[in-house]
Each structure stands twice: as C-alpha cells, then as structure tokens.
C-alpha cells in the first residue's frame, strides 16, 4: 500500500510526531510512506523513520497564492505517486488534499485526522470538513465531542486516541543534560510544547515568579518566543526558554515536575510522553487532558490560574510522598495510551478506507 501524509509543515509538534510515527510504522510493515509538507526541523527525522519527503510551500499561515501553488504541486505528486490512501492532518491539509486529488483525477481514499483546534474554530472546522470529506478521525474523545457539537454528524466520526510513550534516558544522558543546564542540585520544573497562545505560557511564567529556588524552563519553539522571553524579564521570572530540546527523555528524567498550562488541548502528546516516563505532572483540567489522565496521575488545576499552578508545583516539590505517588500513578495510567494500539487501529483504518468500507474503525 502507498500512503501519503499531508500536513502543513514538519516543525516539532504533536501532529508532526504522529505523522512520522505512522509513516515509520507503515515502512516497517512493507508499505510505502510519503510525507508531503512544508519545511521544518523534523524533515530529517521523517526520512530517518523510513518516510520519503515531498516538499510543499508552507501553508499553515500562507497566502492564497501559496495554497494554490501547494495544490498544483501536490496534484502533480499524486499523479506520479498514485497513493492508495491520502492521510490529511487537520482542516487546511484536508482541503488541500481534496483539491489536489481533484486536480490529479485520482481516486485515493482520503483519511483526515482532526488533531484539535481552538474551541472558537470548531464551527468553521465542521463546515470545511463537511464539504471536503465523508468521514473524520478524531485524535481524542474530546475532539470528537467538540466536532459533533459544532455540527459534524456524529455517525461520520471515528476516534483513534493518539498513543504516546518514550523510553527513559540513561544516567549519562541525564547527567550530561543536567550539567549543560548548570542545574547543580536545584530542582527542575519544565514545560514542554510549542510557544503558541494555546499553551498559555504567561501563566507558567507568572507561576514561576511566585516560587524561589527551582530552575524553571520551557522546552519548545514557536512564534511567541521573543514575547515570552521579554515577559519573563519584565516579571523578574526565573523562566528560561530553551528552544527545541532533542533529548526529551533526559529532560523529563531530570525534572522534578512537568507542567502544562494549556487553555485547550485535543490530546497533549508531550504531556502523555512525560507521564509515560513517570514524571510528576501539574496540568490544567481541560477536556483533552481530563479525558485520558485519570485522577491521581497528575495534579489538575483550573486553566488560567497562576496561583493554583504555583501552589501545585510547590506541593510536588515539598512532598516526596506525593511526588512518588504521582510517578507511580502516571506509569500505571500510561499503559492505556501505548502507541501500539493506535498504530494498529490506523493500519486497519487505511485498509478499510482503501476498500471503500463505510466505517473505518
């Protein structure tokens, strides 16, 4: 089977990580996997996983001309590749894939996954998806509920919950990273994710300014980097923005607490990966998190509340028994989102879609 993934770019992120996982799984099962996307730091990661990369113009914030150029290029690629399945990731990529299939006059099965959008955008997403696809796969139950509430027919939504797991880093990798960060014996409190409004990093920065002693860091890159660095400086907050950290298992391994301050989540892969390593977690109680993280596996706080975040961090750092309990519960909970089940479900969905079956999952 030939599977073509279409997504806006290959910058570090959960959606991009999933596409690379799926492409690597397809290659291991003897299928041909191609990722068509705009540029990004993870192009090499995709090819290392066994995928071919087909370069497109960046379309996530591009102009109409960029979109038109991407449609033409992708249509040419489809005519040459003749995929059995085109797996589009999120709304814009689904529209791009549908239009490219029309220009190529090729009958591949279109399999869209919705990874979640800003809650204010679900109505527009629903309208666009109703025009471009017969069925949609939601990456989490919360995304399926939101999409259905926005008007997309529930009987045309399948749910395949994203899988996430990391192997722990050895002591040398952890020690090297601790030394490079000059931590000494200070506890590390870290947030992991893109520097975008969704992640609400100002709450993390404000919470950090209320606590003395820990080393606070954000691992990630994105359009708000300079704004967040400036905010931390003005607030006198100890938060350091690290940029992309290649060795996330080592970072989580040396962290005393991992924090998520998101205002919304479809399914937070970085957070689930941290939990799979047994990290004590403080996170906001938003749908994409409460759906999959059971009580006791993390300290959940209201979104947008830096006082609650700082208080929860302080509890984790000051109570060894609480931290140990969170670690144990996180490891137990992570069994439910191992990637193997997700990968198997997508393989079955591809086969069902390519065979023209009315349901994929």
Domain ranges of the chain: 2-163+339-354, 171-337
- Give the Cα separation of 343 and 348 in Å (integer): 9
Contacts of 313 (CB under 8 A, 6+ apart): 189, 207, 211, 214, 257, 259, 282
- For the cut 90, the answer to whether the pLDDT of residue 58 exceeds it is no
Q: Give the pLDDT confidence of 299-357 residue by residue, as tens digits.
A: 999 999 999 999 999 999 999 999 999 999 999 999 989 999 999 999 999 999 999 99
Taking residues 38-50, report their average pLDDT.
94
- Topology of domain 2-163+339-354, CATH: Rossmann fold (3.40.50)
Does pLDDT of 204 surpass 80? yes
- What is residue 27's predicted lDDT score, i.e. its pLDDT? 96
pLDDT at 356: 94
Tens digits of per-residue pLDDT, 77-118? Answer: 999 999 999 999 999 999 999 999 999 999 999 999 999 999
Give the right CATH number for 171-337 from 1.20.1250.20, 3.90.1150.10, 3.40.50.2000, 2.40.50.220. 3.40.50.2000
Query: How do residues 236-266 score in pLDDT, each as one tens digit?
Result: 999 999 999 999 999 999 999 999 999 999 8
Q: Would the pLDDT of 66 be above 90?
A: no
Pick the closest to residue 228 from 208, 248, 257, 253 (CA basis).
Answer: 208
Q: What is the mean pLDDT of the chain?
A: 95
Q: State both tokens at 187.
A: 């506890």
How many CA atoms within 13 Å lie on the side-chain side of 155? 1
pLDDT tier at 67, thresholds 50, 70, 90: confident
- pLDDT given at position 61: 60
pLDDT of residue 273: 95
Encode pLDDT of 135-167 as tens digits.
Answer: 999 999 999 999 999 999 999 999 999 999 999
Question: C-alpha angle with apex 27: 24 to 105, nearest 5 degrees?
Answer: 105
Q: Enumerate residues 6+ apart whose C-beta is below 8 A from 161.
A: 139, 140, 141, 267, 292, 337, 342
Identify the pLDDT of residue 230.
96
**Residue 57 — very low, low, confident or very high, per pLDDT cuts 50/70/90?**
confident
107 token code pair: 């009958």
pLDDT confidence of 60, banded at 50, 70, 90? low
Share of the chain above pLDDT 70, in %: 99
Residue 59 has pLDDT above 70, yes or no: no
């Amino acid at each position: 089977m030939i599977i073509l993934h279409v997504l806006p770019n290959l910058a570090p992120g959960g959606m991009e990580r999933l596409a690379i996982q799926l492409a690597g799984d397809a290659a291991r099962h003897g299928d041909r996997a191609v990722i068509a996307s705009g540029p990004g730091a993870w192009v090499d990661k995709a090819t290392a996983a066994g995928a071919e990369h087909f370069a497109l113009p960046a379309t996530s914030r591009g102009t109409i001309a960029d979109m038109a150029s991407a449609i033409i290029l992708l249509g040419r690629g489809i005519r040459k590749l003749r995929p059995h399945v085109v797996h589009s990731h999120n709304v814009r990529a689904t529209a791009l894939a549908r239009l490219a299939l029309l220009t190529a006059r090729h009958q591949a099965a279109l399999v869209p996954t919705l990874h979640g959008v800003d809650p204010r955008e679900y109505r527009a997403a629903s309208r666009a998806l109703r025009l471009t696809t017969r069925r949609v796969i939601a990456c989490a139950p919360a995304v399926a509920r939101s999409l259905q509430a926005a008007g997309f027919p529930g009987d045309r939504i399948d749910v395949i919950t994203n899988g996430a797991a990391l192997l722990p880093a050895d002591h040398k990798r952890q020690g090297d990273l601790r030394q490079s960060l000059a931590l000494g014996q200070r506890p590390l409190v870290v947030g992991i994710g893109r520097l975008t409004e969704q992640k609400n990093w100002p709450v993390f920065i404000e919470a950090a300014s209320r606590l003395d002693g820990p080393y606070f860091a954000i691992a990630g890159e994105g359009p708000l980097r300079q704004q967040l660095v400036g905010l931390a400086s003005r607030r006198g907050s100890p938060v350091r923005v690290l940029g992309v950290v290649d060795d996330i298992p080592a970072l989580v391994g040396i962290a005393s607490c991992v924090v998520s301050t998101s205002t919304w989540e479809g399914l937070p892969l970085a957070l689930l990966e941290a939990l799979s390593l047994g990290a004590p977690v403080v996170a906001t109680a938003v749908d994409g998190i409460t759906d999959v993280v059971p009580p006791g596996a993390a300290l959940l706080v209201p979104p947008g509340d830096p006082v609650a975040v700082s208080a929860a961090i302080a509890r984790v750092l000051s109570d060894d028994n609480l931290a140990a309990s969170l670690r144990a519960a996180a490891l137990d909970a992570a069994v439910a989102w191992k990637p193997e089940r997700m990968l198997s479900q997508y393989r079955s969905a591809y086969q069902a879609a390519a065979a023209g079956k009315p349901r994929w999952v």
